[in-house]
């Protein structure tokens, strides 16, 4: 298992949430660095290349190069193979960085993973979750919009700090047992599985 991992994500919400969602892995790691594109830039293959190279040379210069990169891409309901293909092509071209560079996907949005531990999310919100099957969060149509509406119903706005608060309440093992996309992400963190 790699102990020094850099995760590349699409935005601030993901950057703040991923360490909590994967806390069991983080506790075992000697480096768990989550990077996102600057500002509100989208996660594109070009942005990913810049982030991977910057992290590699920065951390290598400090004497602790990453042992693995995991790029987390939201599929937004599209075919995962179509969404990941440009990213897989990019990482294949980064031969000068001699560590695994894996692509993981969050089905639709990372927020689906929050619903994978519906009991804790319900407690955080102080209300029911509506017509959501927490045992199959990857099948939700628009988990981000649904979460935003739930928060609005209790006079809260969905922001990156709120996502971090939610993620801090959730249990990694529970989500892994209910979300195949999350389980695949964790597998890539742990052992580099290409599944």
Q: Report pTM.
A: 0.93
Q: Is the pLDDT of residue 195 over 80?
A: no
Q: What is the pLDDT of residues 88-109, one digit of tens each?
A: 999 889 999 999 999 999 987 8
Q: Is the pLDDT of residue 194 over 60?
A: no
Rounded to an integer, what distance in angstroms lies between the CA atom of residue 138 and that of residue 79? Answer: 13
How far from chain centre, in Å, is Cα 172?
12
Phi and psi at residue 6, to the nearest 5° = -115, 130
Domain boundaries, the chain: 1-195
Rounded to an integer, what distance in angstroms lies between the CA atom of residue 56 and that of residue 10? Answer: 18
How far from chain centre, in Å, is Cα 90?
19
């Amino acid at each position: 298992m790699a102990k020094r991992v850099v995760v590349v994500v699409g935005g601030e919400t993901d950057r703040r949430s991923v360490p909590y969602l994967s806390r069991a892995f983080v506790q075992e790691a000697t480096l768990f660095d989550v990077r996102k594109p600057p500002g509100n830039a989208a996660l594109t293959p070009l942005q990913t290349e810049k982030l991977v190279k910057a992290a590699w040379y920065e951390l290598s210069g400090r004497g602790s190069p990453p042992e693995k990169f995991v790029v987390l891409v939201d599929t937004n309901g599209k075919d995962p193979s179509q969404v990941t293909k440009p990213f897989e092509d990019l990482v294949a071209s980064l031969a000068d960085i001699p560590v695994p560079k894996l692509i993981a996907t969050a089905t639709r949005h990372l927020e689906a993973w929050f619903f994978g531990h519906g009991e804790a999310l319900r407690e955080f919100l102080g209300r029911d979750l509506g017509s959501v099957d927490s045992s199959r969060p990857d099948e939700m149509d628009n988990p981000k919009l649904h979460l935003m509406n739930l928060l609005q119903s209790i006079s809260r706005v969905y922001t990156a700090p709120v996502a971090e608060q939610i993620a801090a309440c959730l249990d990694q093992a529970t989500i892994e047992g209910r979300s195949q996309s999350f389980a695949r992400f964790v597998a890539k963190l742990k052992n580099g599985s290409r599944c």
